[in-house]
Amino acid sequence: MSDVHSGIKKSADAAAGKIISWAEIEKLETCFDRANRLKPCPIGETGACCRVCHMGPCRLVGKNAEEEAVGVCGASLSTIVARNFVRMIAGGTSAHSDHARDMVHTLHAAATGEAKDFHIRDVKKLYKVAGILGIEFEGRAVNDVGKDVAETLLQDFGRQGGELNYVRRAPGKTQERWKKYGITPRGIDREVVESMHRTTMGVDHDPDHLLTQGLRTALADGWGGCMVSSDITDILFGTPKPVKAEASFGIFKEDEVNLIVHGHEPTLAEIIVEVVSDPAMVEYAKSKGAKGINLGGMCCTANEVLMRHGIPTAGGFTNQELGIMTGLVDAITVDVQCIMPAIAKLSKKFHTKVITNSKKAMIPGAVHVEYDEHSARETAETIVRMAIDNFPNRTTKGSHVTDKFPLIAGFSHEYIEYMQGGSWRGSFRPLNDAIMAGRIRGVVGLAGCDNPRVPSTGLHRFLAEELIKNDVLIVSTGCGSAACGTAGYLTPETALEMAGPGLREVCEAIGIPPILHLGSCVDNSRILTIATAMAAEGGLSEEIGGMPAVGIAPEWMSEKAIAIGCYFAASGVPVIFGGHSPVGASKEVEDIMTKVWFDRFMGSLHFEPDPEKILALALQYIDAARDALKLRKYEPGKFGAERVLLDMAARREIDKGGARPHVGL
Ligand code: NFS
Ligand code: SF4
């Protein structure tokens, strides 16, 4: 094996590296091998291939790529590049929003009593959402309110005119920009369909006009699909608060039945969480020779059950094959999104059962046990039993890796607000003040996938370390969080050691880690809510645009990440993606996304493969925003005037109803 094939280079994670090296000896293939073998198509990679009609595919390369190069229909390179990009946004928006639609249906079925296994658990959150939607809730039965909330949100999918309900949650000034440039989203489905329509053969050919529709679609994702999904998941399963758990492959137990939930949807996984602790089921596992049932997660289904129940995570996207290779997984059940079909074939080399459970997704070679919200418990029991029944088939084959790290997750925006002032006076004042005083230089959302085309999770780790060293507070989601978790960065102890002095002081005073795990990828909507709250709190920007805040997805691979990047850009956040640019073939399109969007919305979308440059650009954006807001110049270790921060003791006093000390910096 050459150096290129060494496990260490393929993943930055030592535990993953061990399994990859073992797989090489065993001649088992992983996504890392396939990524090496299958170089990206250089034409498609930069967005220069059009296949929306059968006069093509038209590949605008070589001679074709000169200034006048056009497809058979006459479409220019910039048109083709923009069109391809808008289709990525539409794809990503569909994924989040179709997931959200199912969440709304589950809420409705729970409220009407049709889905007997689901109940409204967080009434406070339900009332909050009802309040936003203008639904009367006082003195009414909880389920009636739930039904109305579900029906109102459902209208946002098929809405033909007007605006999405949640548009009104954005700061007024941000909404004004959307109106001015015509990107206020109408219905979620409508925006996706219009994007698909405008990018078919012979419709919209103006790159800027196309990308504007792309942004409108992305906003329907962020302030629609994603936000709806986070809200309803909170209503049904509880709003997260900090919880301890563990990450990496060492979460699997040699002497227990190991079952993984993988994918994105929380509904069935929530019921599985209940079923695995059912004493009768535990007895059944014992009857098969296991000491108990151990539930773990992967990707975003993992994030959902981690946030609410502390279920451990085996990590993000590129860990899915490696998890099976531990030889310890008795069953892995998958719903939708980011599931490599490769796991079905791979599982045949082990005893692992791959069980698909969504009506929408089947994989050849997997067992299908279809989930229906009306009989969720039965489905969950069948799956757990299958895992238990498979335990006796476990062989010794596998790379039994035992590394694991403790972590803290569960930072909902509600909790972040609470920890800055207790349940009586929660606010974003301390955070805004810390930013104003220069203790915290800025905030970065570190999100998105991990990717076998780079030393996987390595870019996340590098940026996480460097940013907190530079006093930048990190909010993380999705596989970005998993990358930090499997690196051991999600405990206050580890991260505080790395953090710059100002950030460290603030985190110690409030009692938070410098990297806050906010949840799954739909929970990026929580970042929008936090940014909105910071704008409302005052002292920084009055809109999301202009905040010393940046979004980074250094290892992205999914269309969903593109949709997310674009909704942040349209909401006013400069965003930097790693990897090669999918719009790299057109300077015109790149300029629209970095310059024109910034002028209009104060947000932008860059593609930059070099992690050092990503870091430099992020800090440059943050410092420029600080300058524009006339905030104190950031200097490491030097802060504004000393004032009293709210510490844990003071917060407890407030919770008891005591006086609130002067808070601020
Ligand atoms: Ni987000 Fe979460 Fe991970 Fe990427 Fe996939 S699991 S939804 S798309 S790979 S971060
Ligand atoms: Fe080629 Fe135009 Fe057809 Fe695209 S739409 S494949 S550029 S002819």
Mark which of 334, 362, 393 sits at the end of a domain.
393
Q: Is residue 477 part of a domain?
A: yes
* Nearest ligand 1 atom, CA 317: 9
pLDDT tens digits along 158-217: 999 999 999 999 999 999 999 999 999 999 999 999 999 999 999 999 999 999 999 999
- 561 Cα–ligand 1 center, Å: 7
Region 628-634: mean pLDDT is 95
Three-state SS for 315?
coil
The residue whose CA has the least distance to atom 3 of ligand 2 is: 53
- Residue 53 Cβ inside 6 Å of ligand 2? The answer reads yes
Distance CA 224, CA 141 (A): 26
Asked if residue 225 and residue 95 are part of one domain, the reply reads yes
Quote the pLDDT of residue 494.
85
% of the chain beyond a pLDDT of 90: 89
- 237 Cα–ligand 2 center, Å: 47
Asked if residue 108 and residue 209 are part of one domain, the reply reads yes
* Nearest ligand 2 atom, CA 79: 7
Q: Is residue 483 part of a domain?
A: yes
Quote the pLDDT of residue 367.
98
Asked if residue 379 and residue 452 are part of one domain, the reply reads no
Distances (CA, A) of 469 to 41, 199, 499, 637: 37, 44, 4, 11
Mark which of 213, 237, 261 sits at the end of a domain.
237
Distance CA 628, CA 285 (A): 61
H helix or E strand, kind and range, residue 88? helix 77-111
The residue whose CA has the least distance to atom 4 of ligand 1 is: 449
- 22 Cα–ligand 1 center, Å: 26
Q: Is residue 206 part of a domain?
A: yes
Asked if residue 261 and residue 170 are part of one domain, the reply reads no
Region 552-575: mean pLDDT is 98
Model confidence band, residue 625 (pLDDT cutoffs 50, 70, 90): very high
Please give the residue range of the domain that contains residue 146: 77-237
Classify burial at 348, counting beta carbons within 10 Å of its beta carbon; exposed 0-12, middle 13-18, buried 19 or more: exposed
Q: Is residue 52 part of a domain?
A: no
Backbone angles phi, psi at 582, to 5 degrees: -75, -5
DSSP string, 21-32: HHHHHHT---HH
* Nearest ligand 1 atom, CA 564: 1
- 183 Cα–ligand 2 center, Å: 27
Among 66-70, 197-201, 587-591, the least confident range: 66-70
Asked if residue 538 and residue 479 are part of one domain, the reply reads yes
Neighbours of 106 (CB within 10 A): 25
Asked if residue 472 and residue 499 are part of one domain, the reply reads yes
- Considering every ligand atom shown, identify the ligand nearest to the alpha carbon of residue 70 and give its number: 2
- Considering every ligand atom shown, identify the ligand nearest to the alpha carbon of residue 91 and give its number: 1
* Nearest ligand 1 atom, CA 316: 3
Distance CA 192, CA 185 (A): 10
Model confidence band, residue 644 (pLDDT cutoffs 50, 70, 90): very low
Model confidence band, residue 100 (pLDDT cutoffs 50, 70, 90): very high
Asked if residue 107 and residue 232 are part of one domain, the reply reads yes
Count of domains in the chain? 3
Residues in contact with 274: Cβ distance below 8 Å, sequence separation at least 6, in sequence order: 377, 380
- Considering every ligand atom shown, identify the ligand nearest to the alpha carbon of residue 524 and give its number: 1
Asked if 484 and 490 count as a contact pair (C-beta separation under 8 A), the reply is: yes
Query: Which position has the higher pLDDT, 386 or 493?
Result: 386
- The 3 state secondary structure assigned to 420-467 is CCHHHHCCCHHHHHHHHHCCCCEEEEECCCCCCCCCECHHHHHHHHHH
- 63 Cα–ligand 2 center, Å: 17
Asked if residue 290 and residue 225 are part of one domain, the reply reads no
CATH number, residue 216:
1.20.1270.30
- Residue 51 Cβ inside 6 Å of ligand 2? The answer reads yes
Region 410-418: mean pLDDT is 93
When the pLDDT of each residue in the chain is averaged and rounded to a whole number, the result is 93
- 565 Cα–ligand 1 center, Å: 13
Q: Is residue 345 part of a domain?
A: yes
Which residues, in sequence order, are bridge partners of residue 456? 11
Tokens of 180: 């001015």
- 76 Cα–ligand 2 center, Å: 10
The pLDDT of residue 653 is above 70? no
Neighbours of 255 (CB within 10 A): 10
Q: Is residue 155 part of a domain?
A: yes
Residue with tokens 């409302």: 536
Distance CA 495, CA 514 (A): 6
Residues in contact with 457: Cβ distance below 8 Å, sequence separation at least 6, in sequence order: 11, 12, 13, 16, 315, 316, 318, 450, 482, 483, 486, 487, 555
**Closest by alpha carbon to 126, among 111, 115, 109?**
111
The residue whose CA has the least distance to atom 7 of ligand 2 is: 71
Length of the chain: 665
pLDDT tens digits along 338-370: 999 999 999 999 999 999 999 999 999 999 999
pLDDT tens digits along 113-158: 999 999 999 999 999 999 999 999 999 999 999 999 999 999 999 9
H helix or E strand, kind and range, residue 180? helix 172-180
Quote the pLDDT of residue 9.
74
- Considering every ligand atom shown, identify the ligand nearest to the alpha carbon of residue 55 and give its number: 2
Residue with tokens 């000390």: 661
Q: For residue 265, how far is the Cα from the chain centroid?
A: 12
**Closest by alpha carbon to 438, among 352, 331, 332, 548?**
548
% of the chain beyond a pLDDT of 70: 93
Distance CA 452, CA 557 (A): 9
Quote the pLDDT of residue 6.
45
CATH number, residue 566:
3.40.50.2030
Mark which of 393, 416, 431 sits at the end of a domain.
393
Asked if residue 478 and residue 524 are part of one domain, the reply reads yes
Quote the pLDDT of residue 344.
98
Distance CA 264, CA 137 (A): 30
Asked if residue 472 and residue 521 are part of one domain, the reply reads yes
Quote the pLDDT of residue 660.
36
The pLDDT of residue 661 is above 60? no
Tokens of 563: 């949709």
Asked if residue 536 and residue 419 are part of one domain, the reply reads yes
H helix or E strand, kind and range, residue 343? helix 342-347
Quote the pLDDT of residue 65.
57
Backbone angles phi, psi at 132, to 5 degrees: -60, -35
Which residues, in sequence order, are bridge partners of residue 59? 49
Asked if 304 and 230 count as a contact pair (C-beta separation under 8 A), the reply is: no
Quote the pLDDT of residue 640.
73
The residue whose CA has the least distance to atom 2 of ligand 2 is: 73
Region 88-113: mean pLDDT is 98
Distance CA 89, CA 627 (A): 32
Asked if residue 591 and residue 475 are part of one domain, the reply reads yes
List % helix, strand, coil for the chain (3-state, nearest 5): 50, 10, 35
Q: Is residue 46 part of a domain?
A: no
| CB environment 142-170: b (16+ within 10 A), e (fewer) | eeebbbbbbebbbebbebeeebbbbbebb
pLDDT tens digits along 432-451: 999 999 999 999 999 999 99
Q: Is residue 457 part of a domain?
A: yes
- Considering every ligand atom shown, identify the ligand nearest to the alpha carbon of residue 205 and give its number: 2
Residues with CB under 6 A from ligand 1: 264, 299-300, 316-317, 338, 448-449, 478-479, 520-521, 558, 560-561
Quote the pLDDT of residue 87.
98
